[in-house]
Amino acid sequence: MNMHTNKTIRTALLITAAAVIIPTLFVLTSKAEDKKDDADFTPDPKLVEQGKTLFQTKICFTCHQTDPNTPAPAGEALHAPKFIGKFWGEDVKVHNGINGPIITVKFNKEYFMESVEQPMAKIVEGAIPGMAPLPTTPEERTALMHYVRSLSKKVEEKK
């Protein structure tokens, strides 16, 4: 092999290695940030209150039950996810797209935001796809996230 061929092979190997290593580092960093995010999260009371108001005004409560004693009739029919007990940070089996393959995702900020912005991207296994994209601003989605996240473990804390 000549020197030009060796240089081409080395360049190709470096590009291939970078193509494998960089996405892997991104995934590992994202997972570490999710764990840190979960461990360090303190709900902002103002955002929780704004999110609770939005949850009512955007009629999220129609499908997503937040109180074990108050059912969400449409949610029961659609098998919509309930925001009761421990759910944040837990694994969720979802269809990757309508009738797509089942994958497991972590119920975290990324999954929640995607579910609000693109509700058909990942559909909880057993649920009937019925949620339309929610017309919200990024600030409203953040407030909704703070409210929903504040509900996780709520039942256990009452005991």
Tens digit of each residue's pLDDT (9 = 90 or more) over 63-110: 999 999 999 989 999 999 999 999 999 999 999 999 999 999 999 999
Residue 12 above 60 pLDDT? no
The pLDDT of residue 14 is above 80:
no
User: To 5 degrees, how large is the angle CA 54–CA 74–CA 50?
Assistant: 10
Across 119-124, average pLDDT: 96
Shortest CA distance to 128 belongs to which of 59, 76, 54? 76
Q: What is the average pLDDT value for the chain, to the nearest integer? A: 82
The pLDDT of residue 49: 98
How many percent of the chain have pLDDT more than 90? 65
Higher local confidence (pLDDT), 33 or 85: 85
Tokens 């940070």 locate to 89
Query: Which pLDDT does position 20 carry in this prediction?
Result: 43
Under DSSP, is residue 127 helix (H, G, I), strand (E, B) or coil?
coil
Q: What is the pLDDT of residue 42?
A: 84
Q: Which residue has the higher pLDDT, 26 or 45?
A: 45
